[in-house]
Structure 1
Amino acid sequence: MSGGLGPIVVILFVVGLLALVTRWAFGPGYGRTAAPAAPAGDGLLVLVATVTAPQTARALRAVLSDAGIRSTQRSPAPHRTDVLVFPDDAARARMLAASFSG
């Protein structure tokens, strides 16, 4: 046993140095700006109507589908269902929704 503590100290030093380098490279970074928050809206979709029942929203979506407009629905609160479409179809969808009597 002629090695002693020398190699162990060197290995611990190298591991500690690697830990510091990776923390610096992948850490949060104090001078960096925060990543932009996700949009708080509907993403690519536009709200065209809000109805009180999911069944009514499905009926409106059927009318929109017959007109060639893709849509989806969400229920953000009780007794509230939103119908959303892509922006290119929003004007036509709003006209159809205004004349819809579900």
Structure 2
Amino acid sequence: MPIDAGSLHFAVGPGIALVALAVIALFARWAFGSGSTSRPVKAEELLTPVATLTRRESALALRAVLSDAGIRSTIREPAAHRADVLVFPEDLARARALALSFGA
């Protein structure tokens, strides 16, 4: 049986596959989307600086002191010879008290 050269039957399979992928993509976007139209919050906006030190080693030592007190913290290095120690707002008062007694 000869195949008609003007027929588009060869495009049916890939067309169905593209439609199926589009449906799956839309479903995944709906199912795993955040549901919020506001911009995502960056981690730096959640954390508050408690101290700015000139050496990374000093910042690591202060972070160890905070950790021993049960305060979660992290270090940000925005420029050379500058290290900020950041904590969550609920721990800020205790962290500042420990940072003032820290002799780096």
Name the counterpart of 2:88.
86
Q: Which residues of 2 match residues 47-62 of structure 1 at below 5 A?
A: 47-62=49-64
Structure 1 CA distance for aligned equivalents of residues 24 and 61 of structure 2: 54
The one-letter amino acid paired with 2:68 is D
Post-superposition shift, 1:80? Answer: 1.0
Structure 2 CA distance for aligned equivalents of residues 36 and 17 of structure 1: 35
Q: Percent identity?
A: 45
Q: What residue ranges of structure 2 are gaps of 5+ in the alignment? A: 27-36
Query: Which segment is superposed worse, 90-99 or 11-20?
Result: 11-20
Name the counterpart of 1:26.
25
Instruction: Evaluate the alpha carbon distance shift between residue 36 and residue 14 of structure 1 in structure 2; reply closer, same or farther with a 3 A threshold.
Output: farther
The one-letter amino acid paired with 1:42 is E
Classify the secondary structure of the residue corresponding to 1:42. helix
Name the counterpart of 1:64.
66
Structure 2 CA distance for aligned equivalents of residues 61 and 22 of structure 1: 48
User: Which structure has more helix as a fraction of its residues?
Assistant: 2
Name the counterpart of 2:41.
39
Post-superposition shift, 1:73? Answer: 1.6
Instruction: Evaluate the alpha carbon distance shift between residue 46 and residue 25 of structure 1 in structure 2; reply closer, same or farther with a 3 A threshold.
Output: same
Name the counterpart of 1:99.
101
- In the comparison of the two structures, how many residue pairs are matched? 95
Structure 2 CA distance for aligned equivalents of residues 67 and 17 of structure 1: 60
Classify the secondary structure of the residue corresponding to 1:69. coil
